Structure 1
Amino acid sequence: MRSQQEILANDADQGTFDDLVIGLVGRGIQRSRTPRMHMAEGVHQGQRIIYQLLDVDQFPGGDRPLEQIIDAAEICGFAGLNITFPYKIDVIPLLDELSDNARAIGAVNTVVFKDGRRIGHNTDKVGFEEGFRQNMPGAILDHVLQIGAGGAGVAVAHAFASLGVKRLTIADSDHARAVALQGQIAQAHDGISVDVANLTEMLDLAPDGVVNATPVGMAKLPGTAYPVSLLRPEMWVADIVYFPLETELLAAARAKGCRVLPGSGMAVYQAVRAFELFTGRQPDAARMKATFEAMTS
């Protein structure tokens, strides 16, 4: 069987693909599985996709302002960009237009360059929501503790509201940011109780489930945002981090007997929607999921 690289090279020689260049902008993203998902699906869809990692931590000349990175990608003919930590909110002032869901959420993880305009979208909400539905059926949602109210956390909170959470408690090291998200969710969704706890107050809570919506647990930010001593076997625990796939929090929760949800679900389903936005074609979600799972950690 030919490798993906051989297929790409052969088909490119035959001229059967129109190249589509996409990038991922963020920090500490060398282990991202997003490029492989997009490129492999492109092969099946009949289009060669060249996916570049724009890892600010790896720039040879050091940091560059986000505005310069976006400008350079657009000038160089990129079709669009995925945006990840820590730029999902910072990118908004640099865009010409927001989709309805990006405007409602207030965070962008996908930028499409089209007709001289930069259009921001948010696929994180649908990504987390679909991943949770697929992998956590029957999970109790009476009270959820969410740690993290940044760009990804905003999307996760909206997803939980859509999933039917009755009470959502938000904790963040930036208390004002948590309060702002509390107001946003309360205003946008009926039938949900939203409160805020500081990082000390959350120690006294006994939620049905906990979600880590912070970058803590990533390879470059090891540790856990939730004290593992507070884990109870009857809880479920979710994490949005997927490199590594088994974070310290999930490993401790699994050992405790908790039901766990890794960040793979959100990663796969946000990519499925982003692929559609970049290419205008409907991807095969199961195939993209298989590509993700086939990659070694």
Structure 2
Amino acid sequence: MINTALIGNPTDHSISDILFKEMYKLVDDTIYNHEKINILDDELKKKIDSFKNSSYSGLNVTLPHKMKIIKYLDEIQEEVAAIDAVNTIDIRDEKLIGYNTDWIGIYKPLAKLNVSGYRVCILGTGGASRAAIYAVKKLTEDITVIYREFKSINTINLINKYKNSNINFEDYKNIVNRINSSDIIINTTSAGMIGKDEAPFDLEIIRDLDLKDKIFFDAVFNPIETPLYKIFDERGAHCIDGLWMMIYQAQRALSIWIDKDIYVGETDFKALHELLVGRIEKCN
């Protein structure tokens, strides 16, 4: 029996239990169990320590713990130091080792589109934004990050982190011009997610834009089509939903937990995506 879990708050909306069970069937016939565990902020240290001497092989981490959990880990990998966020934990020899596989979930779908040198606009300054920056920097150097509040801790920390780079930071005042001048728009905010806020700007101002030559990547996966996603899709953009990010990060996370690189073919990826879409739509 291999035991893993998703930890965060909330986790009820997630389909990670279905995703990992189905993905594991593609690589092994061992019995596999994946749980969803809600952990409050003031419980985080105690709960995370309890996993060291448990039957769990690994953890996925979701909001709001991706950044704050780092200080409670025994080791972190190179990409975590660069991204400042953890979404995957390997439990080995009573140690908690932090990884970030979110960036792979963003990088792989975009890399398939041959987007080297494209102009990228990233919405948001949270943990997913950091993963997006890390991923996109491997494809292009033209990156602009859009923030909601200049004085927020996330925004200030991110600006300071990249103050000596060529990454640009702007607020939403000129979002129309920024979308018009960008080739790829990546939403790393929780806008449109079930139970979360809508987009951080009035969507009506982009509803009539010609978006047919744009690529839109949404980190939100539930619902599959957020209000922002729908506008880009209706206006002709090539859209990538958040399930693809989830699937590709899960492939890497599972490889870490079982200590073996796993291969999933495109046909199986598409079948898995269709299965997850069906489950989400059924639940909603």
Match of 2:168 in 1: 195
CA distance in 1, matches of 2:259, 2:116: 37
2:12 pairs with one of 26, 30, 54: 30
Q: Which moved more, 1:259-268 or 1:176-185?
A: 176-185
Instruction: Give the letter for the 2:4 counterpart.
Output: I
For residues 40 and 204 of structure 1, do their structure 2 counterparts lie closer, same or farther at Cα, with a shift above 3 Å needed? closer
Paired residues, number: 267
- Of structures 1 and 2, the larger Rg is shown by 1
Q: Is the 8 A contact 2:105 2:247 kept in 1?
A: yes
Instruction: Give the letter for the 2:275 counterpart.
Output: A
Q: Is the 8 A contact 1:170 1:195 kept in 2?
A: yes
TM-score, normalization: structure 1?
0.81
Q: Is 2:136 the partner of 1:163? A: no
Match of 1:277 in 2: 256
Which consecutive residues of structure 2, in runs of 5 or more, have no partner in the other structure? none
Instruction: Give the letter for the 2:130 counterpart.
Output: V
CA distance in 2, matches of 1:108, 1:181: 16
Q: Is the 8 A contact 2:23 2:251 kept in 1?
A: no
2:32 pairs with one of 49, 61, 76: 49
Q: Is the 8 A contact 2:87 2:100 kept in 1?
A: yes
1:42 aligns to what SS in structure 2?
A: helix
Match of 1:225 in 2: 200
For residues 289 and 34 of structure 1, do their structure 2 counterparts lie closer, same or farther at Cα, with a shift above 3 Å needed? farther
For residues 253 and 226 of structure 1, do their structure 2 counterparts lie closer, same or farther at Cα, with a shift above 3 Å needed? farther
CA displacement, residues 186-219 of structure 1 (integer Å, 9 cap, x when unaligned): 65x7xxx311112324354333232111111111
Kindly report which structure 2 residues correspond to 1:1-297, keeping only aligned pairs within 5 A, or say none: 19-44=1-26, 45-56=28-39, 65-134=43-112, 137-139=113-115, 141-164=117-140, 166-175=141-150, 177-185=154-162, 193-205=166-178, 206-208=180-182, 209-228=184-203, 229-230=205-206, 231-233=209-211, 234-286=213-265, 287=268, 289-295=270-276, 296=278, 297=280
CA displacement, residues 229-262 of structure 1 (integer Å, 9 cap, x when unaligned): 2243233321111111111111111112222121
CA distance in 2, matches of 1:143, 1:124: 21
Instruction: Give the letter for the 1:198 counterpart.
Output: D
CA displacement, residues 83-118 of structure 1 (integer Å, 9 cap, x when unaligned): 011111011000010011112221110011111211
CA distance in 1, matches of 2:124, 2:200: 9
Q: Is the 8 A contact 2:58 2:88 kept in 1?
A: yes
2:68 aligns to what SS in structure 1?
A: coil
State the shift of 1:182 in Å.
4.1
Q: Is the 8 A contact 1:179 1:196 kept in 2?
A: no
Q: Which moved more, 1:76-85 or 1:114-123?
A: 76-85
TM-score, normalization: structure 2?
0.84
CA distance in 1, matches of 2:224, 2:105: 16
CA displacement, residues 137-173 of structure 1 (integer Å, 9 cap, x when unaligned): 1558542221111111101011111112x32111223
For residues 128 and 67 of structure 1, do their structure 2 counterparts lie closer, same or farther at Cα, with a shift above 3 Å needed? same
CA distance in 2, matches of 1:179, 1:132: 27
For residues 269 and 47 of structure 1, do their structure 2 counterparts lie closer, same or farther at Cα, with a shift above 3 Å needed? same
